[in-house]
A = this chain, B = another copy of it.
Amino acid sequence: MAKVTYDKEITALLVIDPYNDFIAEGGKLWDRVKGVAEANECVPHMVQVLHAARQAELRVFYALHHRYRPGDYETWKYIAPVQKAAWLHKSFEYGTWGGEIRREFEPQPGDIVAQEHWCSSGFANTDLDLQLKKHGIHKLIVIGLIAHTCVEATVRYAAELGYEVTLVKDATADYSDEEMHAALDVNLPNYASAILITNEVVALLSALSP
């Protein structure tokens, strides 16, 4: 894998779906995620990368899944399985604790929260690509959930749209090792220019700090 470098003018951190439903005790999907997430210390690593990015004064962007609201899907003629599941489970229900961002990842002033997306990619049908361009960003460091759905979809779209991506592999998680493996080892090496661990990314970001 090519040695990766960051220039803070064109690099941003992208945080994907840090909802309580995914990564907080009591969240609707936490029981399915926690096996993988605790094994690789996903949440503490996400916090470490976020702090290192803020320390280095990288701009922080959020790509968030649509929060369920009544009436979202009833009138659709065409629907993908992942959307049926979101409908059935009322994932990230708007107005509930599960649909809030876990406390440590609350957006701060100056962060950019893109519009919520309807399927898995943070880019599809949202203003994420626009906001990245408005801030002059060409390189993304990606953390968050779920590895083989929203993370993989967002990294694939990022590559399709011309961004250079670093994925932090111990700052993501999945429902099973098999799904994690499909995303991190089989598919994403084609689209992410670097797949690093938290310590490596934190070291690279520290070198940028003012």
Interface residues of A (CB under 8 A from B): 10, 59, 71, 75-82, 85, 109-110, 112, 115-116, 118-121, 124-127, 129-130, 133-136, 138-139, 148-149, 152-153, 156-157, 159-165, 178-179, 181-183, 186-187, 189-193
Chain B residue nearest in CB terms to A85:
B190
Copies in the complex: 4
What B residues does A181 contact at CB under 8 A? 182
Are B126 and A125 in contact, with the CB atoms below 8 A? yes
Answer whether A160 and B120 are a contact pair too, CB < 8 Å, given A110-B71, A125-B127, A129-B125. yes
Given the known inter-chain contacts A178-B186, A186-B178, please indicate yes or no for A160 contacting B125, CB distance below 8 A. Answer: yes
CA distance A138 to B191 in the complex (A): 23
Sample of 19 more A-B contacts, CB < 8 Å, known A78-B136, A80-B164, A118-B127: A75-B135, A76-B135, A77-B138, A78-B133, A78-B134, A79-B164, A81-B189, A81-B190, A82-B190, A85-B190, A121-B160, A124-B130, A124-B161, A125-B126, A125-B130, A126-B126, A133-B138, A136-B138, A157-B157
